[in-house]
């Protein structure tokens, strides 16, 4: 069990959040949940193309790939990170290659090193998505066809327990798993007048790309996982918790000091200036 119990806000979609909440509770933390995105399958059929490989930039696209395993199961599949790759392997795909960089640009580099230029690639994606890896692959001569297999609808409200927790300064850390979910939380915090309260919590991000979703928040305390996995997010969280406990043990007692406060983390450099134009 962790040396410092915290109240941690989980922002990932509900189905995926259950696992994160369970892990937090096993570590002795209190979990709050505010899914910033609701994932809905589109139910569309794949385009009439004969791809050399599949591309998946989110684990949310895995159910569609599994539904069409009979057609695509023998193809190589390029996945944006280990979580998506693992889900594909569990779904019966044997030729899964994942990018350790955890972003679309890194995935484009991986593909260009393993698939012949000019080949057709089928990208299983959401309706709202980033320009990479498609832009870099098309610039390199690949024919990329997009199959929109899910929609991620942004939340329009915050749950009452989350509002109350932020307003009372009782949220110690927030876990971010995507740029869009981080952007959605920042927008809702502004709507509810809770931006300053959100700044009081440490922001723990699965990648630098996810952290860029916090660029409108202000001088946030941001920690980025060493690799784009949930295990790495929890390692970062536990490191901060242990550091907080150590600092409190060394510091003289202060009246009314709020328990569970995360130590200051330097703001992520260049986040504000590294947004797409």
Per residue in 73-82, pLDDT tens?
Answer: 999 999 988 8
Residue 36: which of 249, 195, 164, 181 has the closest Cα? 181
- Whether domain 39-153 has CATH 3.40.50.10090: the reply is yes
CATH 3.40.50.10090 in the chain: give the residue spans. Answer: 7-36+156-250, 39-153
Contact 171, 165 (CB under 8 A): yes
Q: How many helices (H) and strands (E) does the chain have?
A: 11, 11
- Whether domain 7-36+156-250 has CATH 3.40.50.10090: the reply is yes
> Cis peptide leading into 133, omega within 30 of 0?
yes
Instruction: Tell me whether strands 120-126 and 53-56 are parallel, antiparallel or unpaired.
Output: parallel
Q: Is the pLDDT of residue 72 over 60?
A: yes
Using CA of residue 82, residue 85, residue 89, residue 91, what is the dihedral sign? positive
Q: Is the pLDDT of residue 203 over 70?
A: yes
pLDDT given at position 247:
67
pTM reported for the whole predicted model: 0.76
Q: List phi, psi (to 5°) of 111.
A: -65, -45
Q: In what order do the strands lie in the sheet with 96-98?
A: 37-41, 143-154, 120-126, 53-56, 77-79, 96-98
Per residue in 229-262, pLDDT tens?
Answer: 889 999 999 988 887 766 666 656 544 433 333 3
């Amino acid at each position: 069990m962790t040396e410092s119990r915290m109240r941690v806000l989980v922002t990932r979609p509900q189905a995926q959040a259950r696992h994160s909440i369970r892990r937090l509770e096993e570590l002795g933390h209190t979990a709050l949940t505010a899914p910033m995105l609701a994932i809905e399958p589109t139910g569309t059929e794949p385009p009439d193309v004969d791809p050399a490989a599949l591309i998946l930039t989110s684990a949310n696209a895995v159910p569609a790939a599994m539904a069409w395993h009979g057609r695509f199961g023998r193809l190589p599949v390029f996945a944006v990170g280990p979580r998506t790759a693992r889900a594909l392997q569990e779904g019966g795909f044997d030729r899964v290659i994942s990018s350790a960089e955890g972003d679309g640009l890194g995935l484009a580099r991986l593909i260009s090193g393993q698939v012949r230029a000019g080949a057709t690639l089928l990208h299983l994606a959401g309706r709202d998505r980033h320009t990479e890896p498609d832009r870099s692959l098309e610039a390199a001569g690949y024919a990329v066809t997009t199959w929109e297999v899910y929609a991620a609808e942004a939340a329009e409200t915050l749950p009452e327990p989350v509002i109350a927790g932020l307003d009372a300064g009782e949220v110690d850390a927030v876990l971010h798993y995507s740029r869009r979910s981080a952007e959605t939380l920042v927008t809702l915090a502004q709507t509810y007048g809770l931006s300053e309260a959100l700044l009081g919590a440490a922001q723990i991000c699965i990648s630098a790309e996810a952290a860029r979703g916090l660029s409108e928040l202000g001088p946030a305390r941001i920690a980025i996982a060493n690799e784009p996995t949930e295990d790495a997010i929890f390692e970062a969280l536990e490191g901060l918790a242990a550091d907080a406990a150590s600092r409190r043990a060394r510091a003289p007692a202060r009246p009314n000091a709020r328990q569970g406060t995360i130590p200051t983390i330097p703001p992520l450099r260049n986040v504000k200036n590294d947004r797409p134009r």
